[in-house]
Structure 1
Amino acid sequence: MQPGFNAVAGGGVTIRVLKGLLLLAGALALMPGTAQAAWLQANSRHFTIMSDGSEARLHEFAEKLEKFDGLLRRVTGVDDPEAGSPVHVYLLSNDAKVKALARNPNIGGFYTTSDRFAYAVLARGAKTSDYDVGAEDILFHEYTHHFMLHHFPAAYPAWYVEGFAEFFSAVKFPKDGSIQFGRIPMARAPTLVQDSPYPLKDLFARDTDGLGLRDGDRYYGTAWLLTHYFQYKADRRAEISHYLKDLAAGVPDMKLDGYFAGGVEGLEKDLKAYMRRPLSASRLDPSAVTVGAIAIGPVDPAQGALIEDELRLMNHPRTEDLPDIVRAIRATAAKFPSSAYALALLAEAEWEAEEKAAALADADRAIALDPGLSRAYSAQARALLERAQDDDKEEDWKAALKAIVKANRADTEDPVPLALFYRYHAMKGGLMPDIGYDGLAKAFLLLPQSPEYRMNYVQALAFRGEYAKASQLLDPLAYSPHPSGTRDAALALKKRFDAEAARKKSPSTAP
Structure 2
Amino acid sequence: MRALTVLKTVAMAAVAFIMLAGAPAHAEWRKATSEHFIIYGDVSESRLRTYTQKVERFDQLLRIWFPPRDTTLITPRLAIYLADGTPDMRKVWPDIPDNVGGFYTPGEERIFAVTGGTGAENDQTLFHEYGHHYMQQNLTGAYPGWFVEGFAEYFSTADLSPDRMRVGLNNPGRMNSLSMGANSWMPFEQVLRSRSFDTGSRGHLYYAESWALTHYLISRQREKLGLYLAAVMSGRDPVEALVGTIDRTPAQLQDDVRRYLSGPINFLSEPHDFPLNEVTITTLSPAEAELVWLDLRLARFVPEELRAGNLAEAQGIAARYPGDPMAARVLAQAHLDMKQPDDAVSVMRPIVEANPNEPLGLRFFATTLMDAGDAARENGDDDRRRALYAEARGALGRAYAADSMDYRTYLALTRNRRGAPNFPSDNDLVVLRTGVELAPQVSNLRYQAAQAMMSRGQYRQAVVYLMPLANNPHGGEQLNEVRALLQEAMQKAGAATAAQVAPAS
TM range (shorter): 0.7 to 0.9
1:89 to 2:80 alignment: yes
Give the match for residue 352 of structure 2.
367
> Which range moves more in the overlay, 359-368 or 203-212?
203-212
Shift of 1:167: 0.6
Whose Rg is larger?
A: 2
Supply the distance in 2 between the matched residues of 1:385 and 1:275 (Cα, whole angstroms): 56
Question: Unaligned stretches of 5+ in structure 1?
Answer: 1-34, 128-133
Any conservation in 1 of the 2:193–2:238 contact (CA below 8 Å)?
no
Supply the distance in 1 between the matched residues of 2:341 and 2:110 (Cα, whole angstroms): 24
Shift of 1:492: 0.8
Cα deviation 1:275-317 (Å, max 9, x = unaligned):
1222221135332x43421111101221111011011101222
Specify which of 228, 234, 240 is matched with residue 249 of structure 1.
234
1:270 to 2:262 alignment: no
With over 3 angstroms needed to count, the CA separation of the structure-2 counterparts of 1:284 and 1:447, relative to structure 1, is farther
Supply the distance in 2 between the matched residues of 1:431 and 1:218 (Cα, whole angstroms): 46
> Which range moves more in the overlay, 179-188 or 405-414?
405-414
Indicate the SS of the match to 2:331: helix
Give the match for residue 178 of structure 2.
192
Any conservation in 2 of the 1:99–1:107 contact (CA below 8 Å)?
no
Shift of 1:229: 1.1
Any conservation in 2 of the 1:51–1:92 contact (CA below 8 Å)?
yes
Indicate the SS of the match to 2:196: coil
Runs (4+) off by over 6 Å? 508-511
Indicate the SS of the match to 1:112: strand
With over 3 angstroms needed to count, the CA separation of the structure-2 counterparts of 1:238 and 1:179, relative to structure 1, is closer
Cα deviation 1:33-59 (Å, max 9, x = unaligned):
xx9821100000100001012221111
Any conservation in 2 of the 1:341–1:366 contact (CA below 8 Å)?
no
With over 3 angstroms needed to count, the CA separation of the structure-2 counterparts of 1:360 and 1:244, relative to structure 1, is same
Shift of 1:327: 1.6
Any conservation in 2 of the 1:36–1:52 contact (CA below 8 Å)?
no
1:352 to 2:337 alignment: yes
Supply the distance in 1 between the matched residues of 2:54 and 2:48 (Cα, whole angstroms): 10
With over 3 angstroms needed to count, the CA separation of the structure-2 counterparts of 1:265 and 1:94, relative to structure 1, is closer
Supply the distance in 2 between the matched residues of 1:445 and 1:231 (Cα, whole angstroms): 28
What does residue range 280-319 of structure 1 map to in structure 2 within 5 Å?
280-283=266-269, 285-287=271-273, 289-319=274-304
1:120 to 2:116 alignment: no
Supply the distance in 1 between the matched residues of 2:487 and 2:151 (Cα, whole angstroms): 27
* 1:275 partner letter: L
Cα deviation 1:332-361 (Å, max 9, x = unaligned):
111111312211221122123211111000
Give the match for residue 22 of structure 1.
none
What does residue range 396-475 of structure 1 map to in structure 2 within 5 Å?
396-430=388-422, 432-475=424-467
With over 3 angstroms needed to count, the CA separation of the structure-2 counterparts of 1:424 and 1:36, relative to structure 1, is closer
With over 3 angstroms needed to count, the CA separation of the structure-2 counterparts of 1:360 and 1:410, relative to structure 1, is same
Shift of 1:441: 2.1
Supply the distance in 1 between the matched residues of 2:359 and 2:482 (Cα, whole angstroms): 31
Any conservation in 2 of the 1:261–1:267 contact (CA below 8 Å)?
no
1:101 to 2:92 alignment: yes
Supply the distance in 2 between the matched residues of 1:307 and 1:75 (Cα, whole angstroms): 34
What does residue range 310-329 of structure 1 map to in structure 2 within 5 Å?
310-329=295-314
With over 3 angstroms needed to count, the CA separation of the structure-2 counterparts of 1:268 and 1:324, relative to structure 1, is same
How large is the RMSD of aligned CA atoms in angstroms?
2.6
Supply the distance in 1 between the matched residues of 2:74 and 2:480 (Cα, whole angstroms): 29
Supply the distance in 1 between the matched residues of 2:400 and 2:41 (Cα, whole angstroms): 29
Supply the distance in 2 between the matched residues of 1:400 and 1:80 (Cα, whole angstroms): 34
With over 3 angstroms needed to count, the CA separation of the structure-2 counterparts of 1:208 and 1:115, relative to structure 1, is closer
1:155 to 2:147 alignment: no
Any conservation in 1 of the 2:143–2:471 contact (CA below 8 Å)?
yes
Any conservation in 2 of the 1:171–1:181 contact (CA below 8 Å)?
yes
1:59 to 2:49 alignment: yes
Give the match for residue 203 of structure 1.
191
* 1:85 partner letter: P
Aligned length in residues = 466
Indicate the SS of the match to 1:422: helix
Cα deviation 1:428-487 (Å, max 9, x = unaligned):
434554333322222221111111211121222222221111111111111111234422
1:218 to 2:205 alignment: yes
Indicate the SS of the match to 1:188: helix
1:41 to 2:26 alignment: no
> Which range moves more in the overlay, 362-371 or 194-203?
194-203
Give the match for residue 6 of structure 2.
none
Supply the distance in 1 between the matched residues of 2:190 and 2:461 (Cα, whole angstroms): 31
With over 3 angstroms needed to count, the CA separation of the structure-2 counterparts of 1:411 and 1:280, relative to structure 1, is same
Any conservation in 2 of the 1:477–1:486 contact (CA below 8 Å)?
no
* 2:234 partner letter: A
With over 3 angstroms needed to count, the CA separation of the structure-2 counterparts of 1:59 and 1:201, relative to structure 1, is same
* 1:150 partner letter: Q
Specify which of 498, 502, 505 is matched with residue 506 of structure 1.
498
The TM-score, its normalising length taken from structure 2, stands at 0.85
* 1:206 partner letter: S
* 1:457 partner letter: A
Indicate the SS of the match to 2:179: helix
* 2:486 partner letter: K
Supply the distance in 1 between the matched residues of 2:372 and 2:205 (Cα, whole angstroms): 53
Supply the distance in 2 between the matched residues of 1:206 and 1:326 (Cα, whole angstroms): 41
Any conservation in 2 of the 1:422–1:437 contact (CA below 8 Å)?
no
The TM-score, its normalising length taken from structure 1, stands at 0.84
